[in-house]
Amino acid sequence: MRSRERLVIPYRSKVVEPISLLPREERLRRIEAAGLNVFRLRSSDVYIDLLTDSGTGAISSSQLSRAMLGDESYAGSRSFEEMQQQVKETLGFPFTIPVHQGRAAEQVLNYVMIRRHMFVPGNTHFDTTKAHIELAEGRAIDCTIDAGRSSEGTYPFKGNVAVSKLERVIEKYGARHIAYILITITCNSGGGQPVSMQNIRDVRALASAHGLPLVFDAARFAENAYFIKDREPGYQNKSIPEIVHEMFGYADACTMSAKKDAIVPMGGFIACRDEELYERLKTPAIIFEGYFTYGGMSGADMEMLAQGLREVVDEAYLTYRVGQVRRFGELLQSYGVPVVEPIGGHAVFIDGRKFFPNVPEDEFPAQLLCAELYKEGGVRAVEVGSVLVGRDPDTGENIRPSLDLCRLTIPRRVYTFEHLEYVADAIRTVFEEKGKSMKRGICFDQEAEGIRHFSSTFRYL
Ligand SMILES: Cc1ncc(COP(=O)(O)O)c(C=O)c1O
């Protein structure tokens, strides 16, 4: 769908939640008190919250009504059966283990699949994914295509895995030291960029040639399917459910943060094809999450998740969802703001280094932009760059990623385009008033250990 077409919104509001904008002086006070880290703000400090699309979507009337049917039995819950059946219908995997959210799925899966010093190559791993691989004493290796490392260029599938890089990794370490190959669809850390069906097929072929399992991090699988339909030759006349089935047909298992493309406030799962793997997953699932027919989810949540999986593959929903994000990005581009191209599925990413071209790269330009944007409009965005990537686990050195991005993440079914116009206007003001004139960025005041972007504090230089 191109931008000139009308965006048809396939829902209307029945319940609303009040939000308000604090006065400017108050916003300045609060972001200073938060150490220039938007994670440390309270939600009531924020007017428009684009921190994440995770668990922030609006549930539908059908999800709410199904929540009332939740079977809260500890073992053998009917709601678990409904959810497992829906996962099978939507993704094609017969076995499902519920967990409380995506990272829990990563913990359980990696506990089973990784042995010490094994590698997990794939496209850019999400931060919790990388951390869980490392916790299981493995190493993640980023094999994203080179085009995915640049904020410029209109290559339609920047989330693709470079098969040649993958081959080199397998050759270098030997297949028996590869735990599995991971494809994140869409690739969040790489800018919300999709992976093509051809690429999935090619990675599958390589995995099969070496007897390696292929796993999807499926958080935004439906948005990925929409991009395949929109951009990949041969898929225009296929339905979204058909495309989803083909995608998952190439995988052995998936981890899922249901807070994204199952549009629930909380939940997740591991799904797989192989009964033996399913049996091996059960014990760690019980230890870490709960009995394997609820795994940290309530019956009500499992019902809502099942319904969400049905709703998310509706093409009218996806057309609006992806179209709204794209229009927002195009509006920013029309103001000259440097956004990552092509615009991704769940978020618009601003290139922090280009936004503040005179701020040194090691002074966290994207983190600086998040603070400035909050001050200007009460808008909360999030850094996906140097702060998030952290330090090399072996050398302890700061990693300088190829892109230092400020992510404006759009919750599903929540904000109108007028909300997003307000955000775009606030960004435009920061860009015009400070983009070129700011010469210094920020540095750590206190750097938190581990995943540091949640709780570190910063100060202006
Ligand atoms: C691609 C991807 N994988 C995994 C996760 C982790 O999921 P959760 O936040 O539900 O633990 C996220 C969360 O944002 C994600 O974007």
Mean pLDDT by 10 residues, the chain (461 residues): 76 96 98 98 98 97 98 97 98 98 98 96 92 95 91 89 98 97 88 93 98 98 98 98 98 98 98 98 97 97 98 98 97 96 93 97 96 98 90 83 92 97 98 97 92 92 96
Reported as type and span, the H/E element at residue 272 is: strand 268-272
pLDDT at position 87 is 98
366-389 tens-digit pLDDT: 999 999 999 999 999 999 999 988
d(CA 185, CA 195): 6
Give the tens place of pLDDT for each residue, 419-433: 999 999 999 999 999
Residue 35 CA neighbour count, 13 Å, CB half? 14
Residue 255 Cα to ligand 1 middle (Å): 9
* 311, 263 Cβ separation under 8 angstroms: yes
Ligand 1 midpoint to CA 228 (Å): 21
Q: Could you tell me if 258 and 69 are in contact, meaning their C-beta atoms sit under 8 angstroms apart?
A: no
Catalytic pick among 104, 207, 219, 222: 219
At 217 the three-state DSSP class reads strand
Q: What are phi and psi of 399, to 5 degrees?
A: -85, 135
CB atoms within 10 A of CB 137: 12
260 is catalytic: yes
Residue 176, number of CB atoms within 10 A of its CB: 11
102 C-alpha to center of ligand 1: Å?
5
Contact 362, 398 (CB under 8 A): yes
Ligand 1, atom nearest to 186 Cα? 1
User: Which pLDDT score is estimated for 3?
Assistant: 55
Does residue 366 contact residue 383 with C-beta atoms inside 8 Å?
Answer: yes
> Following CA atoms 320, 324, 327, 329 in sequence, which dihedral angle do they give, to the nearest 10 degrees?
-140
Tally of helices (H runs) and strands (E runs) in the chain: 16, 14
Rounded distance, CA 125 to CA 142, Å? 7
Task: Select which of 125, 130, 346, 453 is catalytic.
Answer: 453
Confidence (pTM): 0.94
Give bridge partners of residue 139 from the DSSP assignment: 119
CA of 184 to the centre of ligand 1 (A): 10
CA gap 317, 70 in Å, rounded? 25
Other C-beta atoms closer than 10 Å to the C-beta of 123 total 30
pLDDT of residue 129: 94
| E strand or H helix at 328 | helix 315-334
- 260, 300, 301, 381: the catalytic one is 260
Say what percent of the chain tops pLDDT 90: 89
Radius of gyration of the chain (CA): 21
| Centroid of chain to Cα 277 | 25
Distance from Cα 434 to the centre of ligand 1, integer Å: 33
Q: Strand 139-142: give its sheet, edge to edge.
A: 95-99, 268-272, 253-257, 214-217, 181-184, 119-122, 139-142
Instruction: Concatenate the DSSP letters of all residues of 164-196 into one string.
Output: HHHHHHHHHH-GGGB--EEEESSBTTTTSB---
Asked if 408 and 348 count as a contact pair (C-beta separation under 8 A), the reply is yes
Q: Is residue 377 classed exposed, middle or buried when 0-12, 13-18 and 19+ CB atoms within 10 A define those classes?
A: buried
Under 8 Å between Cβ of 425 and 417? no
Pocket test for ligand 1, best of 130, 189, 260, 410 (most atoms within 8 A of CB): 260
Domains and CATH numbers, the chain: 24-53+315-460 (3.90.1150.10), 61-312 (3.40.640.10)
Determine the residue of 120, 125, 126 to mutate for testing ligand 1's pocket, defined as the one with the most ligand atoms within 8 A of the Cβ atom: 126
CA distance 342 to 158: 8
Q: How far is the CA of 259 from the centre of ligand 1 (A)?
A: 8
Question: Rounded to whole angstroms, how far apart are CA atoms 375 and 232?
Answer: 41
Which residues does a 6 A CB cutoff place in the pocket of ligand 1?
54, 101-103, 126, 128-129, 184, 188, 217, 219, 257, 259, 268
Q: Distance from first CA to last CA of the chain, Å, rounded?
A: 45
Residue 436: phi and psi, rounded to 5, are -90, -30
The question of whether 119 is a catalytic residue gets the answer no
Q: Is 74 labeled as catalytic in the residue annotation?
A: yes
Give the pLDDT confidence score for residue 1 in this predicted structure: 47
Query: What is the total residue count of the chain?
Result: 461
Catalytic residue among 127, 142, 261, 301: 127
